Amino acid sequence: MASDTEGSPDTADQQVEDLGPDLGLDLEQQAALGSGASFWRTEELPGVPALVLTDGPHGVRFQSGASDHLGLSASDPATCFPPAAGLAQSWDPALARRIGSALAAEAVAAGVGVLLGPGINIKRDPRAGRNFEYFSEDPHLTGVMAGQVVAGLQSGGVGASLKHFAANNSEHDRMRASSDVDPRPLREIYLRAFERVVRDARPWTVMTAYNKLNGVYASENRWLLTELLRDEWGFDGAVISDWGAVVDRVASVRAGLDLQMPGPAGLDDADVVRAVEGGELDRAHALRAATAVARLAVRARNGPQAVQSGAAHRAAPVDHAAHHDLAREAAESSIVLLANDGGLLPLSPATGVAVIGAFAREPRFQGGGSSHVTPTRVDVPLTEIRRIAGDARVTHATGVGGGDDDENLLLAEAVAIASDAEVAVLMLGLTDDQESEGVDRQHIDLPGDQLRLLEAVAAVQDRIVVILSAGSVVDLSPVVPHATAIVSGALLGQGGGRALARVLYGHATPSGRLAETVPLRIEDAPSWDNFPAVDSHVRYGEGIFVGYRGYDHRRREVRFPFGHGLSYTSFDYRSLTVVAGDNGWTARVEIHNTGSYRGREVVQIYSSLPASVRSRAPRELVGFGHIELDPGQSGQLDVVVERRDLAYWDEPAGSWLVEGGEYVFAAAASSRDIRIEVSVPIDGDPRPVRIDLDSTISEAMADPDARLILDEVFRPLAANAGEASGAVGASIEQLVGSIPVGRMLSGFLGMDRESVAGIAEQLARIHR
Pseudo-torsion of CA 260, 265, 269, 271, nearest 10°?
-100
From residue 318, give the alpha-carbon distance in Å to each of 102, 103, 328: 9, 10, 17
Q: What is the phi/psi pair of residue 507, to 5°?
A: -70, -15
Would you call 582 a catalytic residue per the annotation? no
Best CA proximity match to 257, nearest among 582, 33, 571: 33
Q: For strands 558-560 and 518-519, give the pairing.
A: antiparallel
Best CA proximity match to 135, nearest among 102, 186, 169: 169
Residue 270, SS3 per DSSP: helix
Rounded to whole angstroms, the Cα distance separating 90 from 97 reads 12
Q: What is the phi/psi pair of residue 396, to 5°?
A: -145, 140
Q: Which of 138, 242, 258, 645 is catalytic?
A: 242
From residue 37, give the alpha-carbon distance in Å to each of 32, 45, 158, 296: 8, 11, 20, 15
Q: Are 183 and 649 in contact (CB under 8 A)?
A: yes
Rounded to whole angstroms, the Cα distance separating 369 from 119 reads 13
Rounded to whole angstroms, the Cα distance separating 211 from 180 reads 10
Measured at the CA of 9, the angle between CA 8 and CA 12, to 5 degrees, comes to 90
- If phi over 0 gives left and psi between -120 and 50 gives alpha, with beta otherwise, what is residue 51? beta
Rounded to whole angstroms, the Cα distance separating 674 from 35 reads 52
Q: Are 618 and 584 in contact (CB under 8 A)?
A: no
Q: Are 673 and 570 in contact (CB under 8 A)?
A: no
Cα end-to-end distance, the chain, whole Å:
55
From residue 32, give the alpha-carbon distance in Å to each of 270, 277, 550, 599: 9, 15, 47, 55
Rounded to whole angstroms, the Cα distance separating 329 from 150 reads 19
Q: Are 473 and 521 in contact (CB under 8 A)?
A: no
Instruction: List helix spans (H) across 535-596.
Output: 548-553
SS (H, E, C) 67-94: CCCCCCCCCCCECCCCCHHHHHHHCCHH
Rounded to whole angstroms, the Cα distance separating 171 from 168 reads 8
Instruction: Give the burial class of 586: count Cβ atoms within 10 A of its Cβ; 0-12 exposed, 13-18 middle, 19 or more buried.
Output: middle
Rounded to whole angstroms, the Cα distance separating 447 from 442 reads 12
E strand segments, 90-202:
114-116, 159-165, 178-180
* Residues tagged active-site: 242
